Amino acid sequence: MSFKISVISLTPDAWPGALGVSLISTALNKGIWSLETIDLRDFGQGRHKQVDDTAAGGGAGMVIKADVALAAVRSVERKNRPIIYLTPRGKPLSQMRVRELAKGEGVILFCGRFEGLDERAIELAGMEEICVGDVVLMGGDIAGQLLTEATVRLLDGVLGNEQSTINESFESGLLEHPLYTKPREIEGKTIPEVLLSGNHAAIEKWKHEKSLEITKARRPDLIKNKD
């Protein structure tokens, strides 16, 4: 059974987007995962298929209506899949959560637009709110594609070398160490001698020290979270 991604969006033509190339696309064509898009506009109301309205209590921007969102969500076969709403106010996406998702049967992604989604739809549908970064986008499609790629690449048979997912950034709680390849020297910059020594214990020690050094400099919050 393939890992099923169902996407509810006002711009379903944005899919598969970047997921339509390289190994992720190959896995899609092989049936390792599947993609279903649902146009939120199909559940709009009235002659103009309205999906949004002004915010109660005032404020800028329009809000996606709860009844419209719920109708779209309930049209999808859920089974054991979580419903994820991509939103800047969500819990930050982590590699740990991605690995958890990859062990399941798939996910349902609700890609919002406008100012946001009526809170009652989030509560009644039991949506999990996730943020992919401290930025605000025009909609949830790009965020949803990011989450999809991060999850799908962990499925069996997607990557040619399964070992490649083990020593990546965040897997150990640290950022990845520097990487090098041929040639040995370029414009005065050389590969660190330890990496060419053949001493595997020394190489692993160097990698860990560099990962720790980079993490402390760029993401000290990850170090703090390990305490």
Q: pLDDT (tens digit, 9 = 90+) per residue, 183-209? A: 999 999 999 999 999 999 999 999 999
Q: For the chain, what is the domain count?
A: 2
> At 121, is the secondary structure helix, strand, or coil?
helix
Asked if the model's pLDDT at residue 79 lies above 60, the reply is yes
Q: For residue 18, is pLDDT > 80?
A: yes
Same domain, 85 and 17: yes
Band (pLDDT 50/70/90 cuts) for residue 122 is very high
Helix axes 22-30, 141-152, angle to 10 degrees: 70
- Picking from 126, 152, 178, the residue at the C-terminal end of a domain is 152
**The pLDDT of residue 60:** 84
Pair (77, 184) in one structural domain: no
Which whole number is the average pLDDT over 36-61?
Answer: 94
- For residues 146 and 201, state if they share a domain: no
d(CA 132, CA 130): 7
pTM: 0.86
Mean pLDDT computed over 58-68: 92
Q: What average pLDDT score do residues 128-157 get?
A: 96
Same-domain pairing of 70 and 181: no
7, 33: one domain: yes
- Which 3-state string (H, E, C) describes 128-153? EEEECCCCCCCCCHHHHHHHHHHHHC
CATH number for the domain spanning 54: value is 3.40.1280.10
> What is the distance of C-alpha 33 from the center of its chain?
15
SS3 state of residue 24: helix
On whether both 147 and 190 belong to a single domain, the answer is no
CB atoms within 10 A of CB 3: 24
Instruction: Tell whether the model's pLDDT for residue 36 goes beyond 60.
Output: yes
Claim to verify: residue 23 and residue 53 sit in the same structural domain: yes
Query: Where in the sequence is the domain holding 67, given as residue range(s)?
Result: 3-152
Quote the CA–CA distance of 117 and 110 in Å, as a whole number.
10
The residue with tokens 């199909």 is 42
Query: Is the pLDDT at 162 greater than 90, yes or no?
Result: no
